[in-house]
Amino acid sequence: MKVEITHSAFDPWQALQQYQQDLDLQGKYGATASFVGTMRDLNEGDEVTAMTLEHYPGMTEQYIDKILNQANQEWNILDALVIHRTGSLLPNDPIVLVAVWSAHRADAFSACRFIMEELKSNAPFWKKEQLHEGSRWVKKNTPGG
Amino acid sequence: MSITVRYFANLREEMGRSVDRLDTTRSLSVAEVWAEATDQLPLPTNILCAVNMEYVNPAQLVKDGDEVAFFPPVTGG
């Protein structure tokens, strides 16, 4: 399982392909579930022109590791990958990739959702939006439903 | 006893600094660390606290060498 916090832009599809290609599990997984979060240009009715993402180096990685361990205990998963951006982002930039491999789809789907929801609720990241007039810290995330 | 205090996001901006070193001779809770480091500012109601990179309750006692962090609700992903 791998957690990566990256300050530079990344291509989630390429990262997913590369990670899966390097997995020592060929023939073992029947399901790959993935989630990609992308920056939007609109939030709470305001046009957002750019964003800065801050994290707590050390604690953020440690916390996501903990989430992956929890997922591994709860579901029958074979591997998981989380990549999260920090720094300066523009609309349409990928923010986060969560991918999970398992033998059957139920475990991959459930674990992928759990990891993403836990990350959004508890992993120490903070977004600051740049608007046409000034900037603001995002106060809370939208519910995952 | 020496404590490192870190602030993140809007708290860091409001404080005008990201880190404080706190030297104290008495035993302090996380909430008391906040009060000492911020010159007795009230602890924000929605604040999150961590000691040595683990979430804790503000009543938790800190020990020499601990890193205490304060930050607002998280908004990643």
Q: Any idea what the CATH number is for the domain that residue A43 is in?
A: 3.90.1170.40
- pLDDT tens over chain A, length 145 residues: 999 999 999 999 999 999 999 999 999 999 999 999 999 999 999 999 999 999 999 999 999 999 999 999 999 999 999 999 999 999 999 999 999 999 999 999 999 999 999 999 999 999 999 999 999 999 988 888 7
CA closest to B47 among chain A residues: A139
Quick check: is A145 in a domain? no
Quick check: is B9 in a domain? yes
Distances (CA, A) of B16 to A139, B2, B69: 20, 21, 15
Please say if the pLDDT value at position B24 is more than 80. Answer: yes
Please say if the pLDDT value at position B19 is more than 80. Answer: yes
Quick check: is B76 in a domain? no
Quick check: is A12 in a domain? yes
Residue A140, pLDDT score: 86
Quick check: is A144 in a domain? no
Q: Which of A38, A137, A142 to mutate to test the interface with B (most CBs of B within 10 A)?
A: A137
Query: Domain range spanning residue B25?
Result: 2-71
Query: Domain range spanning residue A88?
Result: 2-137
CA closest to B52 among chain A residues: A59
Residue A115, pLDDT score: 98
Confidence (pTM): 0.96
Average pLDDT of span B44-62? 97
Q: Please list, residue by residue across A99-129, b when 16 or more beta carbons sit within 10 angstroms of its beta carbon and e when fewer do.
A: bbbbeeeebbebbbbbbbbbbbebbbbbbbb
Quick check: is B61 in a domain? yes
- Number of domain units in chain B: 1
* Contact map slice: A 71-100 vs B, CB within 8 A: 84, 95-96
Name every chain A residue with its beta carbon within 8 A of the beta carbon of B4: none
Please say if the pLDDT value at position B3 is more than 90. Answer: yes
Quick check: is B77 in a domain? no
Of A26-30, A139-143, B30-34, B50-54, minimum mean pLDDT range: A139-143
- ipTM, 2 dp: 0.96
What number of residues does chain A have?
Answer: 145
Residue A142, pLDDT score: 83
Q: Using CB atoms, pick whichever of B8, B54, B77 lies closest to residue A95.
A: B77
Most distant pair of Cα atoms in chain B: their distance: 41
Residue A141, pLDDT score: 84
Partner-chain contact B53 A58, CB within 8 Å = yes
Per DSSP, helices labelled H in chain A are 12-22, 59-74, 105-122
Q: How are strands ordered across the β-sheet holding B54-56?
A: B19-23, B2-7, B67-71, B48-51, B54-56
Residue A145, pLDDT score: 74
Quick check: is A62 in a domain? yes
Quick check: is A25 in a domain? yes
Q: Answer yes or no: are the C-beta atoms of B4 and A52 closer than 8 Å.
A: no
- Number of domain units in chain A: 1
CA atoms within 13 A on the CB side of A15: 23
Q: What is the CATH number of the domain that holds B25?
A: 3.10.20.30
Name the helix (H) or strand (E) containing B12. helix B9-15
Residue A144, pLDDT score: 86
